[in-house]
Amino acid sequence: MTEITDGIDGDGFHLPHHAVIKENSLSSKLLVVFNGSAKTNTGLSLNDKLMVGPAIQSDIVSLILKFRLHNYVITADIEKMYRQILVRPEDRKYQRILWGDPNNIKTFELKMVMFGLASAPFLAISCLQQLAEDEGHRFPRASRVLTKDMYVDNLLSGASTIKGALEIRNEITELLKLEGFVLRQWGSNDSQILRDLDDENIIPNCQLDTCHSDKQESVKTLGTIWNAQNDFITYIVKPVAAKLIKSKRKILSEIAKIFYPLGLLEPIILYAKRIMQRLWQLKLDWNESVPNSLFTAWMEFFDQLPVINNVSVERKVLINDAISVQLHGFCDAGECRYGACIYLRLVDSTGNISPALFYAKSCVAPLKTVSLPRLELCGAQLLAKLIRQAIAITGISFEKVVLWSDSTITLHLIHTSPHLLKTFEANRVADI
């Protein structure tokens, strides 16, 4: 930090110097979080005036879907990534803070990218992208990984062989070191990929050769629970006491805790979405208690939430000796919902068929009444979007892609020229 003489920014108003300081009881370190959204005397905050920047990295869903395609996977994160990136001297005046006791306050300018600012993720990611571009000729594989397999400071990548995974690990480590970035918290589904790393740089429960059956081997990567030893994706739900969730705010909070980017819990979560939709229909205030009838339905669902902890799916969806890979999608609808799911159908050299649920998504029907045939068409449109996304993400040349619907009306509409249909149907058929 650089000390300066005052805390006035270039536009003549005092910047907010709000920081939340938390003490970590395990390490006795301070975590300082700066509040860039704090309003100034003009009614604006620093984040209101900063450009956020466009999305220049893959989204979480794409990364996790690709994560399921590799034979051998590796995960890691960049240590203190924001703190390795300098802000231009002329822009540091916007990162001024007050520090000290009331009788001895000093003003400082922070030199590095700060947590809590709207532009921070874009600035950090841009530096990684620039590094990949500048050094791509020296580290071609690591550069591709840096641009395709990173989510902010999290690495989620893999290869078809152990040798390939080791090459990625070594190359990207060397590439990031060029600009002072250090990878830590390594994880993998094979101990050979981690064996020569320092113990402090490995996630403890990913040291597979020392794992015991009575220990938890799960790793949380991009919000997804991955059991590295068994190579399964699992889910963990820790509901709070039932007496604390009687308002719309609390119910929504509990639903939001269930993170399922691949949509593999959609049959369960759809019920919760319906409850939330009914709460919106009642136009309740956020902190208002819900009616008894709806609360009873919620509690029946809430009491069964821990069963989600028993759900697990294989991370790896491809097989080593596949001679045929097909993509099959299914869509369906009911009176109050519609959804779609995608399966990979793999055939090995002996003729054995291995299906694997890959991706799914569901939606509740709009509050305005929509006929069942129209909901079936919405399901088909959703499936078409998921298929388009899956093909783009995987990059696999599928032997066959088949989309299935049990609605003859929907199939007839899809084969009808949009100009002959009403607007609702025409728009969706054109999109399909």
pLDDT surpasses 60 at 325: yes
Same domain for 154 and 50: yes
Helix axes 162-177, 120-134, angle to 10 degrees: 110
The answer to whether 14 and 41 have CB atoms below 8 angstroms apart is yes
**Within this chain, do residues 51 and 174 fall inside the same structural domain, yes or no?**
yes
Give the list of residues 6+ apart from residue 188 with CB closer than 8 angstroms, or none.
Answer: 72, 73, 74, 75, 165, 194, 206, 208, 228
Mean local confidence (pLDDT), 27-35: 64
What average pLDDT does this structure show over 104-114?
89
What pLDDT does residue 18 have?
Answer: 44
271, 276, 280, 282: CA torsion to nearest 10: 70
Number of residues assigned to the chain: 432
Burial class (CB in 10 A: 0-12, 13-18, 19+), 327: buried
CATH code of the domain covering residue 352: 3.30.420
Give residue 372's pLDDT.
Answer: 96
Domain boundary among the residues 292, 312, 332 is at 312
Tokens found for residue 23: 């003490």
Q: The sheet that has 2-4: what strands, in order across it?
A: 2-4, 106-109, 96-99
Q: Span 388-404, mean pLDDT?
A: 94
> What is the C-alpha R_g of the chain?
25
Nearest residue to 231 (alpha-carbon basis) of 208, 214, 202: 208
Domain check: are 302 and 339 in the same one? no
Q: Where are the alpha helices (DSSP H) in 23-161?
A: 46-49, 60-67, 120-134, 140-148
Give the model's pLDDT for residue 218: 60
| pLDDT at residue 425 greater than cutoff 90 | yes
**Domain co-membership, 221 together with 331:** no
Least confident span in 156-165, 199-208, 345-354: 199-208
pLDDT at 240: 75
Indicate whether 264 and 207 sit together in one domain. no
The Cα 337–Cα 334 span in angstroms is 5
| The pLDDT value given to residue 31 | 61
Find the range with the poorest average confidence among 109-113, 224-228, 299-303.
Answer: 224-228
Residues 324 and 353 in one domain: yes
Quick one: what percent of the chain has pLDDT higher than 90? Answer: 53
Are 216 and 329 in a shared domain? no
Clarify whether residues 36 and 52 are in a common domain.
Answer: yes
How many domains does one find in the chain? 3
Stretch 47-62: mean pLDDT: 90
What single letter denotes the amino acid at residue 392? A
Q: Kindly state whether residues 339 and 391 are assigned to the same domain.
A: yes
- Return the SS3 of 371: coil
**Which contiguous run of DSSP H or E holds residue 167?**
helix 162-177
Mean pLDDT lowest among 29-43, 153-167, 298-312: 29-43
Tokens of 65: 């879907």
AA identity, residue 183:
L
CB 132 within 8 A of CB 138: no
Q: Are residues 111 and 219 in the same domain?
A: yes
The reply to whether 157 and 40 lie within a common domain is: yes
Nearest to 303 by CA among 236, 239, 248: 239
Q: Which amino acid is residue 330, in one-letter code?
A: F
Domain that holds residue 100: 2-234
pLDDT interval class at 284 (50, 70, 90): confident
Same domain flag for 40 and 183: yes
Q: How confident is the model at residue 213 (pLDDT cuts 50, 70, 90)?
A: very low
Among 207, 234, 261, identify where a domain stops: 234
63-101 residue pLDDT tens = 999 999 999 999 999 999 998 999 999 999 888 888 888
pLDDT band at 14 (very low <50, low <70, confident <90, very high): very low
Of 312, 341, 368, which residue is a domain's last? 312
Q: Give how far Cα 11 sits from Cα of 8, 51, 97, 99, Å.
A: 8, 17, 16, 22
